[in-house]
Amino acid sequence: MHPFTGFELVAHARIGAHHIFKTKFLGPTTLVVQARWAADAAGSWRIREAEVTRTEGGPAGAPRPAQRPGEV
């Protein structure tokens, strides 16, 4: 495993009380993660949902995420 060397905020959107952030983690393997944040009853922000939306690079022969139906 190699550590990430940095990150970039790719996008931010506000949908009602939720905030959606898309973040690119940079390194030998680059990941793009989309996370949905919302405040709980006490006002603390929590991740409600997160998914890896794209993977690039990585060691040869490394397992890759399965494609979802309709994805290319």
- Domain extent for 27: 6-57
pLDDT digits (tens, 9 = 90+) for 7-61: 999 999 999 999 999 999 999 889 999 999 999 999 999 999 999 998 888 665 5
Reported as a pLDDT band with limits 50, 70 and 90, residue 62 is low
CATH number, position 40: 3.10.450.630
Please say whether the dihedral angle defined by the alpha carbons of residues 69, 48, 15 and 7, taken in this order, is positive or negative: negative
The answer to whether residue 67 is domain-embedded is: no
- Alpha carbon distance 3, 22 (integer Å): 19
The answer to whether residue 24 sits within a structural domain is: yes
**Does residue 39 sit within a domain?**
yes
- Total domains in the chain come to 1
**Sequence-ordered strand ranges (E) for the chain:** 6-15, 18-26, 29-39, 45-57
Residue 24 to residue 28: CA distance in whole angstroms: 12
pTM of the model: 0.70
